[in-house]
Chain A
């Protein structure tokens, strides 16, 4: 027989295809056991994945909020409206600043009068005590450090009396999410190891069940690669299907929280698309599931196959 490279490759591909298929059929022969294992893997993977998704969602919401961040700059007394407008125009040249709104002392007084109910008391004052205020709307994508630096610079301006910005809670929120993210990553790593061990143990049982087949394959000259292959495929299939189950669970969870989250997002004046997070989770889960599956199978195979030799 003439063996060309292409027939060799075709034979190799065919072997892999048949091997994957027979591994799949092998799992279907014991459906309950396989499904139980898949559920365990799925739930274990779903836990960190759903936490990560929720974390991403909260980040998106605070991130959007940061886009609307603004700084209030209170001008010193005696700065007239024309001067204030000029300062506003100068500030708008800065890259971090989107636009600047002037709230004159008269405007502020009017607003205060109509909202506070202290109209009569205000009439008793000789002067308007309220300063002119510049409402500085920032461009999106400023980091909290950018904002802090800008605020410091603005404070040094000669026209500035004082400034205020509600940066504190954003920073705290970011610190908290950072901490939670670390914790979720550590948890994810631990649960990933658990998945690896679950799959490893399943493969170990599979190897014991197929002891005779392994022995006979060794007798007819099957290489370690050939003997290893079906077990690696079983690991891969467990990882893949486990990841799909995990994704299903994450999607269900996202659907459950979509109502309350939608209202929360409305309050923050943002819109979030949960399907994007669900897709992201899928793209993350599949490679992770497959690699943990393969790693678990490899672990079991390298520990147990060498101990099986034909009598």
Chain B
């Protein structure tokens, strides 16, 4: 599903985000990416979402080398991916419903279908009753769950989460991880960058450990 082959990302100025990574994530897998801050966890995820382009090597998604994907095909590529961020990246001038609906709107879904799917998605993260409120009025854990609802609402084959529990206490972190496990059971290939080693140990899943941009 996701295949890195000798992939490097060198930033202008000479600093390497990741260096010579070879890695294969099977379809339907759930894996963690660990490492200190600055070790390249985010860069790895950003490469998959084409928020960065690799400077060397081949990055195959679904058998297609995306390193040279033309600009105008990037939106279609990103629609295969649900993205979750530590800071949620919700739009605070729109209701929860509108935030979660955005991925469906960019795909041109009919309004009724949007309504059905948004509510199904909010239901899965347990926030069905909050659809009309603004995200800013919710707690950190709730906002993260809205972010997750937005990522899964279009049922993408790949889910990427960058420090999804970074700002949450252990109980909330557990809840969020349980959500990821549940989605993974539905066959969504999931990559989670995290430095919460205790939590990761309990879950017993493949772990990719990065140090200074290289695999350990």
Contact = CB atoms under 8 A, between A and B. Distances in A.
Contacts of A221: 75-79, 81, 103, 106-107
B70 interface: no
Interface stretch (B11-19, B108-116, B204-212): B108-116
A129 interface: no
Contacts of A1: 113
> In the complex, which range does the number of interface residues on chain B fall in?
20 to 34
Contacts of B168: none
> In the complex, which range does the number of interface residues on chain A fall in?
20 to 34
A176 to B, nearest CB: 54
Contacts of A268: none
B91 A8 contact: no
Contacts of A8: 108
| Max chain B Cβ within 10 angstroms of own Cβ: one of A220, A223, A309, A310 | A220
Contacts, number: 59
Grouping DSSP codes into helix (H, G, I), strand (E, B) and loop, the A interface class, with mixed when no group exceeds half, is helix
B179 interface: no
Contacts of A266: none
A1 B103 CA distance: 17
A222 interface: yes
Contacts of B51: 219, 309-310
A220 B108 contact: no
A223 B83 contact: no
Given A216-B102, A220-B83, A223-B75, A15 B107 contact: no
Interface of A: 1, 7-8, 10-12, 14-15, 212-213, 215-224, 226, 309-310
Interface of B: 49, 51, 72, 75-79, 81, 83, 89-91, 102-103, 105-111, 113, 150, 154
A-B residue pairs, 9 tightest by C-beta: A221-B79, A221-B78, A222-B106, A220-B103, A11-B110, A223-B75, A221-B75, A226-B106, A11-B108
